[in-house]
Structure 1
Amino acid sequence: MKMLVLKASIISLCCLVLVFGQFPAQAADITGQSTYHTDGRTTPRLDFVTPEAIERKMFVIPSDAMVIGEKTAKSMRNDVLQFLAANSNRYGLTDSAAELKLVDEQESLLGKHYRYQQFLGGREVITGEIVVTVDKNGNVTRVSNNVYPTTTTAAANKNELAVLDQERALDIAWQDLNVEQGAEVLELPSVDLKYWPSENSFMLVYDVMVAVNKPYGYWQYLVDAETGEIIQKQNRATNLGEHEKSGHVERGTGPVADRRNLFRAYELKIVENRMKNLSAPLVEVAAESADGTALVFDGDPVTTLQDATLRDDSLASAFDQAYRTRPLQDLRRESGVFHLDGPWVRIVDFESPTDEPSTSTDGNWTAKRGDTAFNDAMTYYHIDQTQRYIQSLGFANIIARPIEVDANGVSGNDNSYHRPNGVTGKSGILSFGHGCVDDNEDADVIWHEYGHAVHADVAANRWRGGDTRAMGEGFGDYLAATLSLRKENGNAFQTNKVFNWDGIGTGDPNCRGWSGRRVNLSTDVKYDPSRFYSDHQPIGGGAISDELWASPLFQAQLMLIGAGKPPEDGDKIVIQGMFGLSSSGAKMHELAQFTVLAAQSLFPGDIHAATFIRKFQDYNICNPNDSTVCAMPGSPGAPGVAGAGSDGENAAAKR
């Protein structure tokens, strides 16, 4: 299909074998409390800090952490760091854990999650991190570890100077891209010196990011700081439908542009915009919040009309019965003009084609498809409503700000993407392209892309390697599918298809052969824990890797709804499950276990955990012969799950 999707996974390549052997299946210890790396590191990949494990002295609990009573945020951070220092030998840290820096502190429905980045000699170790989960009572309950062990001496002496300078590293990437003359810069480049774990050691590399429109993309390179060899290269914006382009770096044609001239032109444009703002009349205009309405598809015309024969060039009248008038909440109104600018989304123009966002003098957007004002209103309405829904589930801190969106962008290409924040890796900006069926005519596309932003806010820029790319896409598909269920005919027509309108297939000769994706893969398709799943990757049987993650999530949701549970239950579980995972190199069976644990904790004693286990077992993501594998260690498992065995074998050891 079309749609570039800029994900939070900004380093891994589809066929990349990461250093230290990546993360194939983890072995488990005899207690079932921990899983271990199988890449040469002898440290745990995942620990469950249960009362049983503490009693058996698997962990050292500092005395300060055992003090009962209300704790401040600062004291909780101190307790977590003390816990890591006290268990430094277990996790391959120095005695004081001084090489760790707290980079993210998140609150979920079940507690807090502290994410630490590993540093050597003051430089970031790419993919080196450890995440500690603390429950609402202040107890450490889980540790998800991807630290690369090093000795105290090695940590102190890792201060090598690069042989190459930053300009040379940037030039290597620029020449490899063959940036064309006449290209435009999309953002200023960044060049950072970091460590890349390699062959049981650490390689000094430049992390180079360049964004241009010829060849179009947000490109990232890792360049050996000693030899200038390109270690990795990829487009941070991932094509949604074509696996062969995933991680692929295109090259421009013709003479290479002078990058200094392009950077100067970009900086001059920034200065001109600032001067324009400074020279504007200083007239204080009172802005207020006001509601409006919009004519939209809610969510797409194919589903609403239950008509799969619709095509992009169908008569305008064929869509008349598909439009619905919906409220636009909390718009900004200035001098009597309504703007699509609210507390959760802001429609802006940051990318070509230049097309100022539409406004209204009465707060009502009445344009229909074919008018960019319709795309503006569609995008605002569906993102705004999605954020309000996520907040209603209790996740008050996921994208708790207006996200900037260009509803007519991507330099005119027939693509769409999410680009994470360049510093934090969290949610950044969204851009939607047009062509054939405009991407944001289909609410599934808007929900999917916003799903990437949601996911980025939880996982940040460490979501890379392992099965992460497939799981990231799969979550976006799940979000689109589960939100579609609430819409007119969503639970009755093409329920198990995503992108019902945008993915109209090969029936339209004017469009590419994109036919959407499924969230009901045949259970004949099985997960293989010994391989790694990239995004959009063909995995046999006509299946795509993204579908292998989305299918059990959505089928569990359908089963819960069929049992009388509200759809909010399944959505809470899926989003909660993403918290607390050391996402670098994460595998499907790991995130499946976190999802089941979320179900157990949010709905104890109910059918939710058993339902998710059953669906994960259908695809071999959870072992089909042992229902306890994906459950909390020490728990009775999930009785009543079809296919669950009780042979007593530690199935986690097979993973």
Structure 2
Amino acid sequence: MKGLKAKIEKHPERNTPRRFYDIESNASNEKPEKIAEEILGSIAPKLKINPDLSQLKFDKTKESILGHHVLYQQYFEGVPISGAWIRVDIDPEGKVYNINNDLVPETVLKRAEKLNSKKAGGDASPNMPQLDVEEAKKRALEISGAKANDLSEILESELVYYPKEGVPTLAWKIIVKSQKPVGEWKIYLDAITGGIIDKINMLRTLEGQGKVFDPNPVVTLKDTSLEDNAQIPDAAYRLVPLRDLSNSGMLDGPYVTTKLTPNRVKRSDAKFIFRREERAFKEVMVYFHIDRVQRYIQQLGFTNILNRPIEVNIDGIREDNSFYSPSTKSLTFGTGGVDDAEDAEIILHEYGHAILDDQVPGFGPRGEARAMGEGFGDYLAASFFSDNKPDVLKPTVGNWDAVAYSGAEPPCLRRLDSNKKYPKDIVGEEHDDGEIWSACLWELRKALGGRTSDQLVIAHHFLLTPTTKFEEAANALITADKRLNDGRNENTIRDIFIRRGILPNPRRKNKRAGVPFEDISLNGKGI
């Protein structure tokens, strides 16, 4: 593993690699733990940890459709450091392709040792607590706010190092379960001074209720004559569960938060029942639909793609437009025409950009990669809702949003069944060019089925670069299919992309189906 070739993302504070990716490594038949240990030893100097790996303790190996994920916890003087983990991702062939690093470098640990020693009055063993565990438990019960007659209990107590202003501090981690108020509190107390370092309520199981369009009134009512100012009947709405809301009383959860929305709605009873005339209806729409599609992505086997709260502003601009910001990792929806956040297909299209950026940071700055981003967003929205749409609407997206501007029947933002071919129909505008890519993905879905094609499309993103071109991405789909499906769908994939001109046709001397007529020549002369 010496001389490892990889790309690196730097940790914003520690001047160490936060992530190694695009790693060039050899296949191996060794056990995943052995492979991980070998590569960690080779990069220990870059991680700024002891080269003998004595600070690391193997935790577990998890399997996924992407291979094995080997996890290690960092210890300091025999005490675990909270949040200090490193994960090595290994594909089914035994090749290391990604490493995520949250380890604390030696320089910071030395600062921690000096700080704890100073607080302990120069004690030569600064990892010896002055606050005993029973006193820590008593203090934690008080801090949790549990009432005297409450049936509270201590679920866990452990001595750890916990970061305080970036420096690991010796602390007692006490987990308290209380009934009044209801909570499951993780409390960190300075093991030397007894001061509170952090208090976290871990309960995330509050289920609320909301009212939404699913995906929009045009689809639900099967009525393409609706207009923005129409009175939408009750039949267009659906009562849905809002899963895992936090205890904030607002629409905050594990995968989406509306915190960027000014004056957002708050309901202490977690009942978010609104109609489209009320601004808060759009908050419910983005929460429910993003949360649900993220859970679907995880069901496909992808547990590490944007599995954190994305921040959303439901009406940040007045134009009939919406966008994902790669800089702030957030979504903003517009209010021109039909408000974009009223149409779940527009919501999922924009979320598609966030997914791609999470898989391939900086994806699609220009050209064909940018068009692929638009095409994938359309595919994600169309595929996710396809099974609940009438046939005439299946290959379209944004039917409700489009009633304000579309003269097509049915009204739609874009279609996924165009007859465009590459390269003759490339015009240099990402949405138009994206219709070539989305049409290929839509054909793939019709051939393989929704779940198989969804998994394949999302998986192949891991094999792309920010400036990938159509042909490279088509080949990446073939590679992903070999990994996931033993190549069973290769002929189907090739046929689709050859007919669209993205892959050259070996039966026609590698000519492309979409070469403009005026570019075709025979024996050096025009036909």
The verdict on a shared fold, with TM-score over 0.5 as the criterion, is: yes
Instruction: Provide the residue aligned with 1:327 in structure 2.
Output: 241
Query: Which residue identity lines up with residue 333 of structure 1 in the other structure?
Result: N
Query: Which residue identity lines up with residue 246 of structure 2 in the other structure?
Result: R
Cα distance change of structure 1 residues 436 and 111 upon mapping to structure 2, 3 Å threshold: same
Deviation at 1:625, TM superposition (A): 3.8
Q: Is the 8 A contact 2:421 2:501 kept in 1?
A: yes
Does 2:38 match 1:75? Answer: yes
Find 1:527's aligned residue among 422, 435, 450.
422
Distance in 2 (alpha carbons) for counterparts of 1:308 and 1:462: 35
Name the SS for the 1:295 alignment partner.
Answer: strand
- Superposed, which structure 2 residues align to 1:181-200 within 5 Å? none
Instruction: Provide the residue aligned with 1:583 in structure 2.
Output: 466
Deviation at 1:486, TM superposition (A): 3.5
Query: Which residue identity lines up with residue 301 of structure 1 in the other structure?
Result: P
Instruction: Provide the residue aligned with 1:418 in structure 2.
Output: 324
Deviation at 1:530, TM superposition (A): 12
Deviation at 1:554, TM superposition (A): 1.1
Structure of greater relative contact order (alpha carbons < 8 Å, 6+ residues apart): 1
Q: Is the 8 A contact 1:109 1:576 kept in 2?
A: no
Instruction: Provide the residue aligned with 2:445 in structure 1.
Output: 557
Cα distance change of structure 1 residues 496 and 419 upon mapping to structure 2, 3 Å threshold: same
What is the CA deviation profile of residues 429-470 of structure 1, one whole-angstrom value per residue up to 9, with x for unaligned ones? 111121320101111100001000000001101533441110
Instruction: Provide the residue aligned with 1:455 in structure 2.
Output: 356
Q: Normalising to structure 2: TM-score of the pair?
A: 0.59
Cα distance change of structure 1 residues 137 and 66 upon mapping to structure 2, 3 Å threshold: closer
What is the CA deviation profile of residues 127-166 of structure 1, one whole-angstrom value per residue up to 9, with x for unaligned ones? xxxxxx9633423799xxxxxxxxxxxxxxxxxxxxxxxx
Cα distance change of structure 1 residues 603 and 462 upon mapping to structure 2, 3 Å threshold: closer
Distance in 2 (alpha carbons) for counterparts of 1:505 and 1:435: 9
Cα distance change of structure 1 residues 628 and 573 upon mapping to structure 2, 3 Å threshold: farther
Q: Is the 8 A contact 1:408 1:431 kept in 2?
A: yes
What is the CA deviation profile of residues 497-543 of structure 1, one whole-angstrom value per residue up to 9, with x for unaligned ones? 111111126468xxxxx941110011xx321299785412xxxxxxx
Distance in 2 (alpha carbons) for counterparts of 1:485 and 1:531: 27
Deviation at 1:108, TM superposition (A): 7.6
Single out whichever of 362-371 and 437-446 deviates more from structure 2. 362-371
Name the SS for the 1:401 alignment partner.
Answer: coil
Name the SS for the 1:405 alignment partner.
Answer: strand
Name the SS for the 2:207 alignment partner.
Answer: strand
What is the CA deviation profile of residues 77-127 of structure 1, one whole-angstrom value per residue up to 9, with x for unaligned ones? 67799xxxxxxxxxxxxxxxxxxxxxxxxx9833489xxxxxxxxxxxxxx
Query: Which residue identity lines up with residue 255 of structure 2 in the other structure?
Result: W
Q: Is the 8 A contact 2:207 2:242 kept in 1?
A: yes
Instruction: Provide the residue aligned with 2:383 in structure 1.
Output: 482
Q: Is the 8 A contact 1:467 1:532 kept in 2?
A: no
Q: Is the 8 A contact 2:35 2:94 kept in 1?
A: no
- Superposed, which structure 2 residues align to 1:483-562 within 5 Å? 483-487=384-388, 490-504=389-403, 506=405, 515-522=412-419, 525-528=420-423, 533-536=428-431, 544-561=432-449
- Superposed, which structure 2 residues align to 1:330-369 within 5 Å? 330-334=244-248, 338-349=249-260, 355-369=262-276
Cα distance change of structure 1 residues 342 and 414 upon mapping to structure 2, 3 Å threshold: same
Distance in 2 (alpha carbons) for counterparts of 1:286 and 1:398: 22
Q: Is the 8 A contact 1:617 1:624 kept in 2?
A: yes
Instruction: Provide the residue aligned with 1:38 in structure 2.
Output: none
Name the SS for the 2:39 alignment partner.
Answer: helix
Contiguous gaps of at least 5 residues in structure 1: 1-46, 50-60, 82-106, 114-132, 143-281, 423-427, 509-513, 537-543, 562-566, 630-655
Q: Is the 8 A contact 2:356 2:363 kept in 1?
A: no
Does 2:205 match 1:289? Answer: yes
Does 2:498 match 1:603? Answer: no
Q: Is the 8 A contact 2:437 2:470 kept in 1?
A: yes
Q: Larger Cα Rg: Structure 1 or Structure 2? A: 2
Q: Is the 8 A contact 2:219 2:390 kept in 1?
A: no
Name the SS for the 1:409 alignment partner.
Answer: strand
Cα distance change of structure 1 residues 625 and 533 upon mapping to structure 2, 3 Å threshold: farther
Deviation at 1:616, TM superposition (A): 1.4
Deviation at 1:603, TM superposition (A): 1.5
What is the CA deviation profile of residues 279-323 of structure 1, one whole-angstrom value per residue up to 9, with x for unaligned ones? xxx999997631011110001110111111000011x2x432111
Instruction: Provide the residue aligned with 1:407 in structure 2.
Output: 314
Single out whichever of 360-369 and 379-388 deviates more from structure 2. 360-369
Distance in 2 (alpha carbons) for counterparts of 1:286 and 1:420: 29
Q: Is the 8 A contact 2:272 2:284 kept in 1?
A: yes
Distance in 2 (alpha carbons) for counterparts of 1:609 and 1:552: 14
Cα distance change of structure 1 residues 287 and 582 upon mapping to structure 2, 3 Å threshold: closer
Cα distance change of structure 1 residues 601 and 378 upon mapping to structure 2, 3 Å threshold: same
Query: Which residue identity lines up with residue 461 of structure 1 in the other structure?
Result: G
Distance in 2 (alpha carbons) for counterparts of 1:290 and 1:628: 61
Distance in 1 (alpha carbons) for counterparts of 2:97 and 2:288: 39
Distance in 2 (alpha carbons) for counterparts of 1:463 and 1:497: 23
Query: Which residue identity lines up with residue 223 of structure 2 in the other structure?
Result: D
Cα distance change of structure 1 residues 558 and 325 upon mapping to structure 2, 3 Å threshold: same
Distance in 2 (alpha carbons) for counterparts of 1:284 and 1:603: 43
Cα distance change of structure 1 residues 366 and 582 upon mapping to structure 2, 3 Å threshold: closer
Deviation at 1:618, TM superposition (A): 2.1
User: What is the CA RMSD across the aligned residues, in angstroms?
Assistant: 3.7
Distance in 2 (alpha carbons) for counterparts of 1:74 and 1:491: 53
Query: Which residue identity lines up with residue 448 of structure 1 in the other structure?
Result: H
